Amino acid sequence: MADEIKITKKNPRKGDDGYKIVSVRMKDELIARLDKLSEESNRSRNELINLLLTAAVDIVKVEENE
């Protein structure tokens, strides 16, 4: 019988890069606008959504209800 069992360490799976997958419902019109911007900027829809959300989070202001 063997004294030890050796296994090799697996490379990290794709997706284990600090990003999380989220699902968001969007209207067809918004997706069309994103796709047009994607084509014009030569960036993926995913990349654009991340850029736009990052910018929006930095400038959003939450107001109290009156």
Q: Where are the domains of the chain?
A: 28-59
Given a contact cutoff of 8 angstroms between Cβ atoms, the answer to whether 38 and 44 are in contact is yes
Please give the angle made by the CA atoms of 15, 21 and 8, to the nearest 5 degrees. 20
Residue 50: how many other CB atoms lie within 10 Å: 13
Q: Write down the pLDDT at residue 48.
A: 93
Q: Would the pTM count as exceeding 0.85?
A: no
Q: Write down the pLDDT at residue 49.
A: 95
Given a contact cutoff of 8 angstroms between Cβ atoms, the answer to whether 29 and 39 are in contact is no
CA distance 36 to 42: 10
Q: Write down the pLDDT at residue 1.
A: 62
pLDDT tops 70 at residue 15: no
pLDDT-derived band at 3, boundaries 50, 70, 90:
confident
The residue type found at 40 is: E
Q: Round the average pLDDT of the chain to a whole number and report it.
A: 87
Q: Write down the pLDDT at residue 11.
A: 75
